[in-house]
Amino acid sequence: MLLDGLTFPEAPRWRDGRLWFSDFYSHRVLTVDLDGRTETVAEVRQQPSGLGWTPEGKLLIVSMRDRRLLQFDGAGIRLVADPRGNRVVRVFEGGRIDQTISTGSRGAYACMLRGDDRRTLLIGANTGSSPMMARKKDGQVGVIRVDVPGAVLP
């Protein structure tokens, strides 16, 4: 047994010599190496689910209960796609919302910084996520230039 005492481990991913996973009911994203050393990487109040990484190596976490996509860079700042609120927000540790970008009548389902200068914010938005909504083909990718290179939002 590598690790026990977990509430509901899911979304396992192997990266950098460690197993990364969400422990759903403890609200944590953890890592464990093959020697059993564990680390809590992030805490997600609305229960973490799927995991992935941006090309730059920033951890992406699905916040399950509030249906948001979080970007965690280790500094406690999270970039959030909020499909129900039709917005992208920058959230600091503790939950304080620093900035908001509206996506109008569409939900924001994905967001990321791109470009050589890291000043281009891409936002994937749609009016819904069901198979019926997909047939409408009304999804969009929005582009916003940010003021500061590497900043999460303008």
User: Facing residues of 9 across strands?
Assistant: 23
Is residue 72 within 8 A of residue 78, CB to CB? The reply is yes
Q: For the whole model, what pTM was predicted?
A: 0.63
Query: Which amino acid, residue 36?
Result: G
Greatest mean pLDDT range, 62-66, 72-76, 121-125: 62-66
pLDDT band at residue 152 using 50, 70 and 90 as cut-offs: very low
- CB atoms closer than 10 angstroms to residue 74: 10
Can you say how many angstroms the Cα of residue 115 is from the centroid of all Cα atoms in its chain?
19
Mean pLDDT throughout 118-128? 78
pLDDT the model gives residue 132: 75
Tally Cβ neighbours within 10 Å of residue 109: 19
How do the domains of the chain map onto residue ranges? 1-76
Say yes or no: domain 1-76 is CATH 3.40.50.2020: no
Structure tokens at 128: 């819904």
